[in-house]
Amino acid sequence: MVATNNTNYDRQSELKAFDDTKEGVKGLVDAGITEVPRIFHQPPDKYIMNRNFDSEATQFSIPLIDLEGLEFDSPTKRNEIVAKVGEASETWGFFQISNHGIPVGVLEEMKDSVRGFFEQDTQVKKQFYNRDPLKPVGYNSNFDLYRSPATNWRDTFRCYMAPNPAKPEDMPEVFRDILIEYSKQVMKIGEVVV
């Protein structure tokens, strides 16, 4: 979607109107919109047109760290993994982990429960709507809504689980229990690799 030039366009007013609904992108979809609102149109300079890229130069691979064998308390294996984590963090800033030990059932339940949150009635989700990044629990559309040149077509939920986790009673009921369990599993990995 490409933004058009219109001197009557008041982006800030449209952003505020969208934000004030506290319904997010899902609210637009549920309302049956037939046209994507202008706040979601990407500026033309965001598109790269007619450029030839060397396919070899544009190929990259996110570091993958395999934790297989770590459960046998091998100091050598642990040191090797810690070194890989350090290198990937320093070089890339992130990495993937395989054989992490989080049960597939926990992963699937977490995904299903998060989807369940976003599919809830709007009035339930509105209880969690805020733009305060210091609050441990929050739901909104685009954390950078008022600063970004174009709004992304997404809704976001955040819940800080470390170092000072949100209180269980402040978490959405739809995924409270699995979020706590998932966080315990992730923290176990963190204790091993850091």
For residue 192, what pLDDT is reported? 76
For residue 3, what pLDDT is reported? 47
Distance CA 172, CA 44 (A): 39
Quote the tokens at residue 50: 């007619």
- Taking alpha carbons only, the member of 8, 27, 6 closest to residue 17 is 27
> Is the alpha carbon torsion for 3, 6, 12, 15 positive or negative?
negative
Per-residue pLDDT, averaged over 113-132, amounts to: 95
Helices 75-91 + 176-193 axis angle, to 10 = 100
Per-residue pLDDT, averaged over 27-39, amounts to: 95
Residues in the chain: 194
Per-residue pLDDT, averaged over 128-154, amounts to: 93
pLDDT tens-place string over residues 76-91: 888 898 899 999 999 9
Percent of the chain with pLDDT over 70: 89
Residues with Cβ within 8 Å of 133's Cβ and at least 6 positions away in sequence, in order, are: 143
Contact 136, 164 (CB under 8 A): yes
pLDDT tens-place string over residues 152-163: 999 999 999 999
Contact 150, 40 (CB under 8 A): yes
Residue type for position 110: M
pLDDT above 70 (res 53): no
For residue 181, what pLDDT is reported? 97
Distance CA 175, CA 109 (A): 9
Distance CA 50, CA 139 (A): 38
